[in-house]
Amino acid sequence: EAKKQGGNSYFFYQNTLSEQISTRLTLENYLKDAIANQELYLVFQPQVNIITGQVEGLEALLRWEHPILGNITPATFIPIAEENHLIEELTNWVLQQSLQVLKKLHQHYHHLCMAVNVSARGFTASDPLDRRISHLLTEYELSGCYLALEVTERFFMENTARSAEMMANLRKQGIRIAIDDFGTGFSSLTYLADLPIDTLKIDRSFTKDLDTDSRKKGIMSGIVAIARSLKIQCIAEGVESQTQLIQLSSLGCHQYQGFLFSKPVKVEHLPAILEPDYRQLRGTEAGEHGSRKDR
């Protein structure tokens, strides 16, 4: 049986194999009803311009709160969904919900973009991602230029035949493609050479020791230089300290994301975060669902 630890995450490694299997099957069964039972919701984390301090985009991150099990992290349930056809339904749901939120936010914040994580799995020839997205953009009367898809290298590895064509179709609609967790895969540079990528999201592991580990800083500096020379955007993930931010700024990184500015928050807390004076008030002590009034 899965054990609750640290408040909101489940760890499987403490259990026997048969326990792990039955937990997985249980989660899989619960996950099938999660959308219908309204157990899923999105949280949003700002993507901030390093020079101006402006929030330019939001990354939508999926959350699952089961009535008995509590919060189950995406690191646990996304892989389960990927092994079934559940991932298609989840991706559709996330795209639909996040574009609906974006449409509302555009009433006050016209420039905002939405970034959505897209799994490598769950593309069928009969219902391709590019077509699904173009229907949603039409439904919400949104230009594709406000949408970025975050994919990992696995996306290209597992959709080799289709990914080039699909990406071309997506980019024709103005949609941007970001490589997530950049630097952690094996052949990122090959994809950079061959595919039209718009953004590199530099993995949190490089940001983490930026101020203490000169090798990490060297790698970060190199990635930013590659991005700049290819004229593509780069975002540093997992920025938690002012020192890291200053380093990134001196390297010429465009945007950052991380607990320093804000943890991912529920939609009702977004307006406070999007106010221009928020950055003076930002702190690291707020919880994931914290808002300014909680500070």
Nearest CA-CA partner of 183 in 149, 210, 143: 210
> At its nearest, how many Å lie between Mg ion and the CB of residue 261?
15
Does the protein bind Mg ion through residue 130 (CB under 5 A)? Answer: no
Does the protein bind Mg ion through residue 76 (CB under 5 A)? Answer: no
Question: What are the counts of helices (DSSP H) followed by strands (DSSP E) for the chain?
Answer: 12, 11
Residues, the chain:
295
Does the protein bind ligand C2E through residue 178 (CB under 6 A)? Answer: no
- 227 DSSP β-pair partners: none
Does the protein bind ligand C2E through residue 150 (CB under 6 A)? Answer: yes
Binding residues with ligand C2E: total (CB under 6 A): 23
* Of the candidate residues 258, 265, 272, 286, the single one contacting ligand C2E (CB under 6 A): 258
Computed over its alpha carbons, how large is the radius of gyration of the chain? 19
Tell me how far apart the alpha carbons of residues 245 and 285 are, in angstroms, rounded to a whole number. Answer: 17
Angle 116-240-236 from CA coordinates, rounded to 5°: 45
SS3 content of the chain, % helix, strand, coil (to 5): 45, 20, 35
Does the protein bind Mg ion through residue 150 (CB under 5 A)? Answer: yes
In the complex with Mg ion, the residue whose CB is nearer, 30 or 94, is 94
179-218 binders of Mg ion (CB under 5 A): 180-181
Does the protein bind ligand C2E through residue 180 (CB under 6 A)? Answer: yes
Interface residues toward Mg ion, by CB under 5 A: 117, 150, 180-181, 237
Interface residues toward ligand C2E, by CB under 6 A: 45, 61-62, 73-75, 78, 94, 117-119, 150, 180-181, 204, 237-240, 257-259, 264
